[in-house]
């Protein structure tokens, strides 16, 4: 492989630009497999135009029925492939680079896809909090678009989605309940990863979201969150980071 | 192993007494592992008293907070163990009889438990139809108790849960939607089973429910259902029956 794979991501305003949980899934997969990649930054208002221009596939539909484009997307100069969606990217990389460590152990694809859906669904009740925290991370040039698209989708002002007070406390409790569900899944495993002693895309999903939370909930909030469920989350993030060193 | 394992089940009025989907999970597991077992039949009104008497664990709580007992339960004369709940039974049998074929391939326990929850949750919208069909299968001596417990839980007359007409049609559509979700999971697999070429407890869950549906929806209804999604369900039931021959 001569040229690095291009990974499209949304830039945040921190010193580390990356902050999207879904893109972290692709980052961890690329890093775990030891594949060279470089980030190309696109603010969300520019994703649709840019992705159409390179010929990336949409990942869903907007309420009006038109195509919806998201990141991560990768562009692989070695094969010409352009792949949208974090789990499709992981599948593509496993197939295209079979000599690198696999993230879908033999026979695990269907089960990990069920895991993925169940994980995202369980996260649902804490999403308002994630949205509001995301708003604090984006670049000023992205604020108007972000606000408009969220308010249109949710039907209320951004400030009313998870204001400090009882509503925010409920969302924080929802976060703990969500991680409690995931903790119970890990407790069923025979080892420290979801697939026992075998690291897989299931752990990448969880690790990527933890990496995202680590950025969104700084300071005391992250201190508290990472200590929940016997300190599982701080430990897991540390372990995933050991396996997949991000640039 | 000298004495057969005892499997507690609810008797139906057909020539084959077994009709409970959850107990079929234990039946298929026992059969797949080639373990000798015999059925002991208990009507649902007698489950609590009988299970307390043998020292079985409850599997949940009633609305009033007291213990709730269900079948399947197994009693293993070789070890003295009494195990409630189909997936706990499968885990017990894998651990206790390691030389028999495993239903939880290495590293699959957590993922299969997520699969189990997602499967049961997806089934939710068709449950009214299952309840009403179950009523047609139980023994006359069980009818009063069955009706009372369902009507208390649901808060409406048994006849109003899924009457012939638009409501029933909706539940039948829900059944197809549910199996559409499961079909998409199978489509993600690399082989004919959920874990690719490896048969597992995930397939037992699906196969057991198909066996149950085969009994509940006889004649034309089963003809139709088994042909949905390219005939996957009829074929799957046939294949699972080949792997796990039920007495």
Q: Answer whether A186 touches B (CB < 8 Å).
A: yes
**Would you say the C-alpha torsion B14, B126, B20, B150 has a positive or negative sign?**
negative
**Is the confidence at residue B1, as pLDDT, over 70?**
no
**For residues A74 and B2, which has the higher predicted lDDT (pLDDT)?**
A74
Mean pLDDT of chain A: 95
CA A140 to each of CA A85, A146, A161, B4: distance values in angstroms, whole numbers, following the listed order: 26, 10, 20, 71
Q: Distance between CA A179 and CA A185 in Å, rounded?
A: 10
Tell me the per-residue pLDDT of A204-217, one tens digit each, with 9 for 90 and over.
Answer: 999 999 999 999 99
Q: Which of residues 191-220 of A touch B (CB under 8 A)?
A: 191, 193-198, 202
| CATH 3.40.30.10 domain span(s) along chain B | 5-96
* A162-198 pLDDT tens trace: 999 999 999 999 999 999 999 999 999 999 999 999 9
Q: Write down the pLDDT at residue A46.
A: 97
The pLDDT score that the predictor gives to residue A115 is 98
What is the pLDDT, as a whole number, of residue A14?
A: 81
Per-residue pLDDT band for A114 (boundaries 50, 70, 90) equals: very high
pLDDT at position B42: 97
Lowest mean pLDDT among A92-96, A136-140, A207-211, A239-243: A239-243
Min Cα separation B121/chain A (Å)? 10
Helix (H) or strand (E) holding A67: strand A67-68
Nearest-CA distance from A1 to chain B in Å? 27
Q: Say whether residue B124 is in contact with chain A using an 8 A CB cutoff.
A: no
The predicted-structure confidence for A31-68, as pLDDT tens digits, reads as follows: 999 999 999 999 999 999 999 999 999 999 988 899 99
pLDDT for the residue numbered B37: 95
DSSP, collapsed to helix, strand or coil, labels residue A79 as coil
> Is residue A122 within 8 angstroms of chain B, CB to CB?
no
The torsion angles phi and psi of B138, rounded to 5 degrees, stand at -75, 165
The arrangement of strands across the sheet holding B73-76 comes to: B37-41, B5-9, B73-76, B81-84
Span B85-94, pLDDT tens digits: 999 999 999 9
Residue of chain B with shortest Cα separation from A193: B107
Q: Searching chain A, which residue's CA lies closest to the CA of residue B106? A: A196
Q: Is the dihedral of CA A89, A90, A94, A100 positive or negative?
A: positive
Instruction: Measure the CA–CA gap between B21 and B12, rounded to whole angstroms.
Output: 12
Place of tokens 């007359």: B157
Q: Closest residue of B to A111, CA-based?
A: B111
Mean pLDDT of B41-51: 96
Identify the CATH number of the domain defined by range B5-96: 3.40.30.10
Q: Is the pLDDT of residue B194 over 80?
A: yes
CATH entry, B109-243, from 3.40.50.970, 3.40.395.10, 1.10.10.10, 1.20.1050.10: 1.20.1050.10
pLDDT band for position B247 (cuts 50, 70, 90) = low
Report chain A residues whose CB lies below 8 A from the CB of B189: 107, 109-110
> Do the chains contact at B117 and A118, CB–CB below 8 Å?
yes
Residue limits of CATH 1.20.1050.10 in chain B: 109-243
Which residues of chain A make contact with B113, given a CB cutoff of 8 A?
185, 188
Q: Give the model's pLDDT for residue A247.
A: 55
For this complex, say whether ipTM is above 0.90: yes
């Amino acid at each position: 492989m001569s040229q690095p794979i291009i990974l499209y991501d949304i830039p945040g305003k921190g010193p580390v630009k990356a902050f999207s949980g879904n893109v972290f899934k692709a980052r961890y997969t690329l890093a775990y497999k030891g594949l060279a990649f470089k980030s190309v930054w696109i603010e969300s208002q520019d994703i649709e135009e840019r992705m159409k221009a390179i010929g990336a596939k949409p990942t869903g539909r907007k309420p009006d029925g038109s195509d919806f484009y998201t990141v991560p997307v990768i562009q692989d100069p070695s094969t010409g492939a352009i792949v949208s969606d974090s789990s499709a990217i992981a599948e593509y990389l496993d197939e295209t680079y079979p000599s690198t460590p696999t993230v879908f152990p033999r026979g695990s694809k269907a089960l990990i896809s069920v895991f993925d859906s169940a994980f995202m669904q369980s996260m649902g009740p804490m999403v308002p909090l994630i949205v509001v925290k995301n708003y604090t991370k984006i670049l000023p040039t992205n604020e108007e678009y972000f606000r408009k698209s969220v308010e249109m989708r949710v039907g209320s002002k951004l400030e009313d989605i998870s204001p400090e007070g009882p509503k925010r406390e409920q969302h924080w409790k929802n976060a703990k309940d969500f991680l409690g569900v995931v903790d119970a899944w890990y407790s069923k495993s025979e080892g420290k990863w979801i697939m026992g002693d075998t690291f897989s895309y299931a752990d990448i999903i969880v690790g990527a979201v933890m990496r995202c939370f680590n950025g969104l909930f700084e300071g005391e909030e992250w201190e508290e969150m990472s200590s929940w469920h016997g300190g599982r989350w701080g430990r897991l993030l540390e372990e995933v980071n050991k396996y997949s060193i991000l640039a």
